[in-house]
Amino acid sequence: MSGDLHLDFTSDNSSGAHPAILQAIVDANNGPAAAYGADQWTRRAELALADIFEREVEVFLVATGTAANALALSAVTDPWGAVLCHEFAHIAADECGAPEFFSAGAKLVGLPGRAGKITPAALDDALALMPRGVVKQVQPQALALSQATECGALYTQAEITALAEIAHAAGMAVHMDGARFANALVALGLTPAEISWKAGVDVLSFGATKNGAFACEAVIFFDTDRAKDFAYRRKRGGHTLSKGRLLGAQMEAYLRDGLWLDLAGKANVRAAELEAGLAALPGVRFPWRREINEVFAIVPTAMRQRMLAAGARFHPWTPRALEPRERPSADEVFIRLIPSFATSPEAVVALAAAARG
């Protein structure tokens, strides 16, 4: 630790909540309120999301991203269905089988692709191996895209559209895991509608926790018919908070006056600064282009030691995500660095300085 600086780059969920969101929780605390999400804060958050997405939506707030993803996928996938996703997608690799649990046993089929992105060719290939109506095989029912991906990569609107067209033509629904939706949006410079329903997304896990909320995500149905039983799914999953205003207040504050975009923008800028700082150092390689607030870098082992010695915290990343020829050599390591909305410019400078040694 350099003075009071927090050199925590492990994840954007290591930060607390943004002060404005915290204040919204405090402000929402007074007096009685209707329970189970029938409160005014939740209602206003729903209206704000409809406004931001420029259309009617069905919104369900939950406290975790895993709940949002697993519940959303269960609403669009039968137990004998398959969810096609990237092989390294969070839903496939990091949720301890939650999608399988909530869908009563659907299968996640992992597709290959650079930097966590699925290509139309990979999707076509996978679908070619999954004939419809062959009873011995699970049926493709959902395409799950992560925006941004686990590798911090982005889909353009055209890319989403192309994938969604294939999925829809095959009778599948399109889910988007938007745990870092705001970071993606800001980086792409598009509207929320453009990278979601206008590009063919049917249901979105709209994350707020990593970008300034304490514990709040929204499952947003653009295909509102899919939402008709969702209240039962959420309740029986134990995800309907009795004091629902805790969620509503967070989401309302998150969206108010563009706070969510400001915060995502800050986190992205910090990552850009960090990337620039590391790029100037000998021996640092980036396997793919940074697009949001995640920096993936192959660095000399000694550099990693210097950063750790300075009090920095961050995670190694799996070389499996790289082509064999790109993988770290014996004296290199592959690391992931994530600044959040709360990361200070000084922390980034300090980290780069520590790396330089």
Q: Which is nearer to its own copies, 170 or 215 (CB)?
A: 215
Give the DSSP letter string of 84-122.
EEETT-HHHHSSTTHHHHHTTS-EEEEEP-GGG---HHH
- DSSP-derived secondary structure letter, 132: T
Q: Which is nearer to its own copies, 35 or 121 (CB)?
A: 35
- Asked whether the beta carbons of 174 and 164 are under 8 A apart, the reply is yes
Q: Which is nearer to its own copies, 292 or 342 (CB)?
A: 342
Degrees (nearest 5) of the Cα angle 243, 244, 247?
125
Q: Which is nearer to its own copies, 245 or 270 (CB)?
A: 245
d(CA 257, CA 223) in angstroms, rounded, equals 27
- The upper half-sphere exposure of residue 188, i.e. CA atoms within 13 Å in the direction of its Cβ, equals 24
d(CA 253, CA 212) in angstroms, rounded, equals 10
Distances 155 to 85, 147, 164, 224, 293 between C-alpha atoms, Å? 14, 7, 12, 24, 15
Q: Least distance (Å) from its own copies to the CB of residue 192?
A: 23
- Quickly tell me which residue has 């092989």 as its tokens: 87
Q: Which two tokens stand for residue 343?
A: 């990361």
Q: Least distance (Å) from its own copies to the CB of residue 6?
A: 5
Which helix (H) or strand (E) covers residue 47, if one does? helix 40-53
- Quickly tell me which residue has 């690799």 as its tokens: 93
Q: Least distance (Å) from its own copies to the CB of residue 100?
A: 4
Q: Which is nearer to its own copies, 47 or 93 (CB)?
A: 93
Q: Least distance (Å) from its own copies to the CB of residue 150?
A: 12
Q: Least distance (Å) from its own copies to the CB of residue 177?
A: 13
* Dihedral over Cα of 90, 258, 185, 248: its sign: positive
Around Cβ 139, how many Cβ atoms within 10 Å?
A: 20
Q: Which is nearer to its own copies, 79 or 258 (CB)?
A: 79
Q: Least distance (Å) from its own copies to the CB of residue 71?
A: 7
Radius of gyration of the chain (CA): 20
Q: Least distance (Å) from its own copies to the CB of residue 86?
A: 15
Q: Least distance (Å) from its own copies to the CB of residue 279?
A: 25
Give the DSSP letter string of 265-281.
HHHHHHHHHHHHHHHTS
Q: Which is nearer to its own copies, 30 or 329 (CB)?
A: 30
Q: Which is nearer to its own copies, 138 or 337 (CB)?
A: 138
Q: Which is nearer to its own copies, 71 or 195 (CB)?
A: 71
Q: Which is nearer to its own copies, 199 or 263 (CB)?
A: 263
Distances 248 to 82, 113, 209, 221, 260 between C-alpha atoms, Å? 32, 37, 13, 17, 15
Q: Least distance (Å) from its own copies to the CB of residue 191?
A: 27
Closest CA to 312 of 277, 286, 349, 275: 349
Q: Least distance (Å) from its own copies to the CB of residue 215?
A: 5
